[in-house]
Structure 1
Amino acid sequence: MIATSLSENLAARPLRVREFFLARQPILDRSQSLVAYELLFRNAATGPANVTSDLSATASVIAHTSQLGMEKVIGDSLGYLNVDAAVLMSDIFQFLPREKVVLEIVETMKVTPEILARIAQLVEEGFRFALDDVITDSEEVQQLLPLVETIKFDLRDMPLSALLKLTPQFKLANKKLLAEKVETQEQFETCMKLGFDFFQGYYFAKPLILSGKKLSPSQLAVMQLMAQLNSDADTVDIERSVKQDVSLCFNLLRLVNTPAAGTRRRIDSVSQALLLLGRNQLQRWLQIMLYAEPCKKGQNMTPLLTLAATRGKLLELIAHQIEPRNRNMADTAFTVGIMSLMDTLFSIPMTEILEQVAVVDEVSEALLHREGVYGAMLSLAEHMERIEEAGPMLDELVDRFQLTSDNLYSLQISAFEWGDTVARTAH
């Protein structure tokens, strides 16, 4: 046995959640629906060099995460977690909800008879496995193949010729194929043609600018209403604008009555929404509506909506942490977070979007150049999403806002939970 007991492991090297940065990276299926997240941990105590390959340390964080409630981190999705020999031989699995996790066997792990027996035992107990970063069909891969459901390919490490050679073999063996580090639409389309089942990477959040692209009438109506709110128009005029568009009126009232809006009583009219929510909150729900609209037409944009809502909430919570009494700063931070993906949503350059919605200079500087305090908050959120590539900049940004990794972890959990609730109820 490599590590007989997790408690012994923790006693030998006490670790707490607060010593880690956490990221969750979306995994989409062929219809572009969100199905899972890979959870990545980076050891904050040892600095940027360690995207924690010390998986026995990660095991303690997994234990904490499970005890805190893994559903807060992954919502209704599955969670992919990396495991090495030490974790496999430990008693971590009593903490893990087997129906909610897929265990990724890391490529550096040496395959021994003991390891194969342990994986077989865990499969018997209902755990599912994926094989990470496969680059060949080596003897070790062949040994593990009967025990795993999913094969992961890292597109950064795989030439197309190798993908073309390997994918048919694994498809024949009835394995699910997952492409990770999918960064462009072109890579996604190539993997679709090769029959991949799942896609991990931020290709869905990259703007694909289409020349001459125009906003739909309903998007235009929402943008015009946001412009009215920004210019302090009379409440009567705002109400009139909302009521002119029946679907806008209906969707707005539906959204402001969801749990994520946090209202205690039911809102039945636009005037009541304005009264109870206030203009800043109304602005927020209009921004969310823009992302939710494609879902109504059967185009599943949930990953983008989830990412935008989570980003907006995280920035709002960071602003609140910095200046607890400055409500305006928190509202502005939310706007920066949620607007940061609108160029992707509309396939229009951010400069053109900002010509249609008047925003304060601080917001446009943040969105266009990642400058100013809001730009730094947005950079922090983006670095957290891509934690394994973040480098020293992440630590500098965390220091700038005087956040501990413990602070950031609890803010992230709140943002994850809120973003997931919004995405679920926006359909």
Structure 2
Amino acid sequence: MFAYIARHPILDSDRNVYAYELLFRDGRKNCFPDIRPDEATSKILTGSHLTLGLEDIACHKTSFINFHKETLLHGFPSMLDPESVVVEIVETVPTDSSMVAACKQIKDMGYKLALDDHNFDPKWDVFLPYVDIIKVDTLRSDYETIARNIEKFKQAKVQLVAEKVETYEDFNRFRDLGFDYFQGFFFAKPEVIRQRNLPTSKLALLELLQESSSRDFNFERVNAIFERDVGLSYMLLRFINNPTINKRYKISSLRHALNYLGEIELKKFISILALANMGEEKPMELLHLSLVRAKFCELVSQAKKDQDNPPKGFLVGLFSLLDALLDQSMDNLVQKLPIDEEIKLALCGQEGRLRNYLSLARAFESANWLALIKLSGELDLSQKMLHGLFNQAIVWGNEIRQSVSPHFPKSQVRT
């Protein structure tokens, strides 16, 4: 028995990640086990929440976790650390006295509670004395209803999360209305289609991209580019001294770093560095999501025994959010980049192996388990193995994000 996991970022008003909602599902049934706390439920909870490590899955940030009737009544949240978890009460739970008592008990144990998919029905008011956060589905309630009710929760000192925020326009509207946090993939879409010229300082990165896209890789030319840019050299050394990349040697010279990484890993690093700098004005979660996709697609490519140089699986995942980073259409952007034609076609939606790898990553992100089942069958890869690869990609993405970003604050549950 194993569990699928998806995570959805929850951003603050500055578009920094405050928390991740972790969605746990029971295999092909595609549901959280809402049954008496028997052995099967216990295995899923302990296997998912404890064995995999919430701190790795959620990047040491707050974890929002859904709980249903039976798991709340029988105190299953007590298996988790109240300092790093928000207990999310789903909209299907009853509002009877036993459920209110269970929520009070969980609150008294030091947990924060959130009401999911709130629709402003007065019946939920019985939970207000124990709730810290309310999540509002912005698609189920119209804007006027939301605006009319928001002051009530502000007076109760309840924080508000706007769910299903899919555009920057909606993000700005609900931020101005007083919402504290925002959930949805608005940040992963182009804010507006406009031309953005790369400043002169980015030319070195474009030169490096040009070199890394070639099979005829020239270490001397790459070394010369790094040598004339102190910032790039520093980032290279910071990257290679990360324990995820190098656990054995302390590397201090530029030449040693280049030789140690080797051609394939150096090409990947150059691509990461270019992407991080291109999107420096965008939410860090965009880079993080790109890193996880890159590593996952690379691992899937390796499982399929692909032999690519440059590593196409890695690059298609890494560049899959380029349109959101630069606020331009993907079709327009790929024509400007020195990347392989197969990668360009996959990024623009052309069917093929690389597009399938990317679709697998998106299935995990959106908890679309039916798509995962279908794609795993088409690729002849087991779902259990893919689940492990995605978790591995998350851990790798966390570490590399810290290497390429000097500012990576750890979030805790707020008091």
TM-score by length of 2: 0.90
Per mean C-alpha deviation after superposition, the further-off stretch among 374-383 and 405-414 is: 405-414
Question: Match for residue 372 of structure 1?
Answer: 352
SS of the residue 1:265 aligns to? coil
Which letter does structure 1 place at the counterpart of 2:302? H
C-alpha distance in 2 between matches for 1:127 and 1:71: 17
The 3 A distance-change label for structure 1 pair 158 and 332 is: same
1:170 is aligned to 2:153: yes
Question: Match for residue 59 of structure 2?
Answer: 75
1:38 is displaced (CA, Å) by 0.7
1:313 is aligned to 2:295: yes
CA deviations on 1:345-384 (whole Å, 9 max, x unpaired) are 1223323432332222221111111421011000111122
CA deviations on 1:320-350 (whole Å, 9 max, x unpaired) are 2222xx4537922111101111221122332
Q: 1:265 aligns with which of 246, 249, 254?
A: 249
C-alpha distance in 1 between matches for 2:225 and 2:88: 51
Q: 2:372 aligns with which of 394, 415, 420?
A: 394
Runs of at least 5 residues in structure 2 that lack an aligned partner in the other structure: 407-415
1:28 is aligned to 2:11: yes
1:220 is aligned to 2:198: no
Once the two structures are superposed, the pairs formed by residues 130-141 of structure 1 within 5 Å of their partners are 130-138=114-122, 140-141=123-124
Which letter does structure 2 place at the counterpart of 1:383? A
1:290 is displaced (CA, Å) by 3.2
1:403 is displaced (CA, Å) by 2.8
C-alpha distance in 2 between matches for 1:74 and 1:335: 24
Whether contact under 8 Å (2:75, 2:106) holds in the other structure is no
Q: 1:412 aligns with which of 390, 398, 403?
A: 390
Once the two structures are superposed, the pairs formed by residues 64-143 of structure 1 within 5 Å of their partners are 64-68=47-51, 69-138=53-122, 140-143=123-126
1:145 is aligned to 2:123: no
C-alpha distance in 2 between matches for 1:96 and 1:391: 25
Whether contact under 8 Å (2:62, 2:85) holds in the other structure is yes
SS of the residue 1:204 aligns to? helix
Question: Match for residue 8 of structure 1?
Answer: none
The 3 A distance-change label for structure 1 pair 411 and 111 is: same
The 3 A distance-change label for structure 1 pair 137 and 386 is: same
Question: Match for residue 237 of structure 1?
Answer: 221
C-alpha distance in 2 between matches for 1:207 and 1:58: 41
1:300 is displaced (CA, Å) by 6.6
Which letter does structure 2 place at the counterpart of 1:167? I
C-alpha distance in 2 between matches for 1:294 and 1:356: 13
Whether contact under 8 Å (1:98, 1:126) holds in the other structure is yes
TM-score by length of 1: 0.87
Question: Match for residue 402 of structure 2?
Answer: 424
Q: 2:362 aligns with which of 382, 398, 406?
A: 382
Whether contact under 8 Å (1:291, 1:305) holds in the other structure is yes
Q: 2:165 aligns with which of 162, 182, 186?
A: 182
Whether contact under 8 Å (1:370, 1:378) holds in the other structure is no
C-alpha distance in 1 between matches for 2:191 and 2:78: 44
Per mean C-alpha deviation after superposition, the further-off stretch among 393-402 and 378-387 is: 393-402
1:283 is displaced (CA, Å) by 2.0
The 3 A distance-change label for structure 1 pair 205 and 240 is: same
1:362 is aligned to 2:342: yes
Which letter does structure 1 place at the counterpart of 2:111? F
Q: 1:41 aligns with which of 24, 33, 40?
A: 24
Which letter does structure 2 place at the counterpart of 1:319? S
SS of the residue 1:260 aligns to? coil
Per mean C-alpha deviation after superposition, the further-off stretch among 186-195 and 228-237 is: 228-237
CA deviations on 1:254-310 (whole Å, 9 max, x unpaired) are 222222323531232332222111222112122222343379x7x573211211111
SS of the residue 1:133 aligns to? strand
1:202 is displaced (CA, Å) by 0.8
CA deviations on 1:214-268 (whole Å, 9 max, x unpaired) are 1233433212211112233522112112222222222222222222323531232
1:187 is displaced (CA, Å) by 0.8
C-alpha distance in 2 between matches for 1:361 and 1:171: 53
The 3 A distance-change label for structure 1 pair 233 and 328 is: closer
C-alpha distance in 1 between matches for 2:9 and 2:198: 27
Cα RMSD between the aligned structures?
Answer: 2.2
Question: Match for residue 205 of structure 1?
Answer: 188
Which letter does structure 2 place at the counterpart of 1:271? R
Which letter does structure 1 place at the counterpart of 2:393? A
Q: 1:346 aligns with which of 300, 305, 326?
A: 326
Q: 1:337 aligns with which of 317, 331, 334?
A: 317
C-alpha distance in 2 between matches for 1:420 and 1:55: 34
Whether contact under 8 Å (2:133, 2:158) holds in the other structure is yes
Q: Percent identity?
A: 31
Which letter does structure 2 place at the counterpart of 1:114? S
Question: Match for residue 161 of structure 1?
Answer: 144
SS of the residue 2:204 aligns to? helix
Whether contact under 8 Å (1:253, 1:270) holds in the other structure is yes
Runs of at least 5 residues in structure 1 that lack an aligned partner in the other structure: 1-15
Which letter does structure 1 place at the counterpart of 2:257? A
Whether contact under 8 Å (2:34, 2:69) holds in the other structure is no
SS of the residue 1:259 aligns to? coil
